[in-house]
Amino acid sequence: MKIQVQAPESSCHDVLRKQVRTAIERIRIGRPTKSVIMVGPRGVGKTALLNRFFHEMENSQVQCVLVNAAKSRSLPSMLTTALHLALLRMSAVDAAKTSAARGLKALANFSQTLKAKFADIEIVLDYEPEAGLADNGDLDSDLTALLVQIGTAAKAADTALVVFMDGGCRS
């Protein structure tokens, strides 16, 4: 769902916060929901809202990651470190160890195949790759395979993964 954010600290922020919490809870219990995309002019509080959502959900029953998009970084490099942390947290749950380990292998393949880099530093994860798992070099199919594996780990850990992505200011 696309939501227009119009003014800092307006009453629509409370409505939006309730919609986001409802969507996240639906995800956590395995129900379908729509993604939330906030749009609006600079200075209306989109980043502040994302940070607030993240901090409110951080200690809940879901795995939350916050990704700050930057023009200088590729999508794989922005996602790799955040998803790595979420998978490590899921791997601490006994019921999710196997699927989280497979998710880490998929993430290692994803970051290697798509050459996840930040500036001139290449991101490499120390996991034994599994052939055919998020490693064909096509962002769409590899990201889908990775997210399916993370979803499997999240389900096993009785949690969900929520990615808060801030596009930042674009000139």
pLDDT for the residue 111? 83
C-beta atoms surrounding 37 within 10 Å = 10
- Tens-digit pLDDT profile for the chain (171 aa)? 666 676 666 667 788 888 888 888 888 888 988 888 888 888 888 888 888 888 888 778 889 999 988 877 788 888 888 999 999 999 999 999 999 999 999 998 888 877 655 555 566 667 777 788 888 888 899 999 999 999 999 999 999 999 999 986 544
Output phi, psi for 17, to 5 deg.
Answer: -60, -40
Give me the residue spans of the domains in the chain.
1-60, 63-166
Q: What was the pLDDT predicted at 171?
A: 42
Neighbours of 54 (CB within 10 A): 16
Q: Which of 171, 169, 170, 167 is nearest to 37 (CA)?
A: 167
Q: What is the predicted pLDDT for the residue at 125? A: 67
**Tokens in use for 62?**
């879901």
Residue with tokens 């850990």: 157
Give pLDDT, residue 76: 84
Alpha carbon distance 149, 107 (integer Å)? 9
Contact 107, 80 (CB under 8 A): yes
pLDDT at residue 53, rounded to an integer: 86
Res 128: pLDDT: 76
Taking a C-beta distance cutoff of 8 angstroms, is the pair 112, 133 a contact? no
